[in-house]
């Protein structure tokens, strides 16, 4: 309740995890794969705010990391241009317990760089995920997809499903720095 304030709408998005039926990690090489969504999903609530600030709160139960992250929107820029992907990766790695925020806030960087979008206001994002971490059911992709979906909806950025997956893969590859194919985000 403390994260969201009265007055501005709160949008909610959902993205499921996935089960690998056939193909495994063969999508790296362009092979055929077969995936199905699972019932467990990630959820994001987002509210635009007047402050030039991004606040992210995770309801995750992982006690090895902080559950809150905050950054000024200005941290995404260098000399009036969006920071390079390598600089973004270093930004999120500077405090290891905050590195999880790259999966969420990385969507902002990708939207600025790839869609030439300018964020005119800040946002509060509440993240919750039922997708088990480290079990091979795409917990990171679910968080990327739900974050990108919520941010795009809140800021009226039009993205079709295929482009959404491609942009989310860029979050994981270029901002987080984790190599992956596009199977999980798709």
How many Å apart are CA 24 and CA 53, to the nearest integer?
39
184 is known as an active-site residue: yes
Cα radius of gyration rounded to whole Å, the chain: 16
Q: Please, where are the H alpha helices in 38-138?
A: 85-93, 102-115
Pick the catalytic residue: 20, 27, 98, 184?
A: 184
Please give, one letter per residue, the 3-state secondary structure of 93-161.
Answer: HCCHHHHHHHHHHHHHHHHHHHHCCCCCCEEEEEEEECCCCCCCCCHHHHHHHHHHHHHHHHCCCCCCH
Catalytically active residues are: 184
């Amino acid at each position: 309740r403390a994260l969201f304030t009265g007055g501005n709408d709160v949008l909610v998005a959902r993205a499921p995890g996935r089960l690998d039926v056939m193909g495994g990690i063969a999508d790296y090489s362009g092979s055929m794969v077969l995936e199905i969504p699972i019932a467990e999903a990630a959820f994001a609530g987002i509210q635009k705010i007047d402050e030039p600030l991004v606040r992210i709160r995770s309801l995750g139960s992982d006690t090895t990391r902080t559950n809150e992250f905050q950054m000024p929107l200005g941290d995404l820029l260098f000399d009036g241009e969006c920071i390079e992907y390598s600089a973004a990766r270093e930004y999120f790695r500077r405090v290891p317990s905050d590195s999880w925020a790259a999966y969420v806030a990385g969507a902002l960087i990708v939207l600025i760089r790839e869609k030439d979008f300018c964020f005119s206001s800040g946002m509060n994002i509440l993240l919750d995920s039922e997708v088990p971490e480290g079990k091979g059911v795409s917990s990171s992709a679910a968080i990327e997809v739900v974050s990108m979906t919520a941010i795009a909806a809140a800021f009226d950025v039009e993205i079709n499903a295929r482009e959404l997956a491609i942009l989310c893969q860029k979050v994981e590859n270029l901002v987080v720095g984790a190599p992956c194919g596009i199977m999980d985000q798709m």
